[in-house]
Structure 1
């Protein structure tokens, strides 16, 4: 009987031990997250320090460890150059021990890094780029497009402007993957709603003089000037449109406008503009609490990509914990089983193509009289339900999607 009891106790102990995450399940004794963003260029304010701090906040809130191992956060500047971003991703994956790359502001960079992630079988989460290739031809089990994309922007701002009567469009488009993809998606929406695209002018990234482009837009006689750029490019385009009197006879559609852009423009110039965002700091008590903590660290309110950097990092760490390992394939499987309920979204989930699905929101910039405090810039117009906000799975060209 004593012998039987000893055998039983030994078996129970072995079973209990096997259920615990072991040190061997984290391959290099650390879970390392790389924030690859724009730290010095045109998108620095939209990515930059804010993205790094958001990821650090998530690591801290998670407790600083996962599966008993330290969570380490590193960062690098991709300089808005796809080759630089891809080289850094390759270095991080090959020798830097990075398990996840987050943020990835700039569509050209995000596309390049997605290719490296697929080759190396390591995770990336895209929060600062809109190009839909991430969930189409470049899709993999290791890439998640989290915050927004060109489809959601087009079916938010673009559709709303068309429905308000803006039937003829001329685009001012930044000439790389982001702007071209956004112009294409909005053009599809315009034509689907019996509108017409009468022309487009493409400009380099970080353009400061928009005078010739605005003159082309005015000469087109289009009802709507669609600004398919963001950050300083969008701000400079809007300022030029006002300066040259384009807004007297034509309306502006800012297709990706951030809270920092509104801050830079000022409410007198930005008032009335429609914009589509996944998140706004003043939505509810949870968003306000996060925003205050972020503001105390960064000195400004967070934008939707920075909120998504935090949320998606927590999502990844919870998947690591649930999988009991840092094995990328097992983490990918867990991510597609889990739902996200946090200050960023409710009931968010990852589809087979890597698209993180959640509600999007149409906002309008307040008038100066409506704004009651610093950074009080937006008022809600409409909710775009999750199932309508993103490209239907049936239209995806991702080979992971079963049809």
Structure 2
């Protein structure tokens, strides 16, 4: 058994910076959270970095608190990125083999990705990618074309890109805090890792992560990531609305929001603002919140319509993020989205006091990087790429045995991968440690 593996993750949001440190046992069988912390975030607005130095100080504070809490030194961390600068595009790519016919290999699938990535703009970086609707020659859609003989390979490549400038600013802020960036992932994908089941992803589901500065939407179908979008509206807008409506500072508006949540049964609530005690109508606050929730409903409905996958959501819409702690938000979305709607909470694992929706992203980032470490431990001679382990290249067979055009699909040779059920069915495994 090897040494335990320690991994840190950062969720750098518009209102809070969350840091978490996790541990994977040397045999790759057990994980636990050693500690987590959060601090006020400054220098970020609507998920975009505006002041690198200020943000780096916030990150440094979060890391120092995490180190003090766990007694461990944090030199590297994985991070997520979100914001409306992200783009989700799907491109149909096709190429012909150099010979008349060849056996499809894993490298050929990589070629489809490379062809799609060449079409991205110079100012964009690919954050996530997915391949589906794969065909060899004129075959039907193939789940795994490796091992099939054909003259051409075609597939739909889904790319999620981020502005390089924003990505560089985010990395710079982390580096200035004295921490290296180990992995970069998509915030909404990370939240999905922490919340969604395999059934959700297979049946079709939209996950809406309502953060403070933005709402990140991600859609899965048949186990594949098929769409992603970030909407520039989130939890902080409720506070901004209170501040504007009642002519107060944001700090007072935040207190009013908390006071409202504690006294919803009352007709009015009183609060000291500056030097005077003011009275506020519960009904007027609720009306304001409902109006803002209506905006989120409209944004989400439009995004779902634009995605083209509106009719594929067998498991409906799942809500997460800090704003879903407000019952009014959930009620309005459930009433007006025209889908079955439920709140999704992240997996609770050993070491976590409670699983809060606001921790979905940072926990998902941690789980994603620990999953990769698990596969490295279980398969030391296999190269890990993104969400899968490369298959061993199959031995070439006589062409007449496996021609795709004749509809004789041949299963790819499978590597000897021992998953032990651990991240293969992550939620079932983690439940053992609740």
TM-score (norm 2): 0.31
**More strand, by proportion:** 2
The structure whose Rg is larger is 2
Q: What TM-score results when the alignment is normalised by the length of structure 1?
A: 0.33
Greater helix proportion: 1
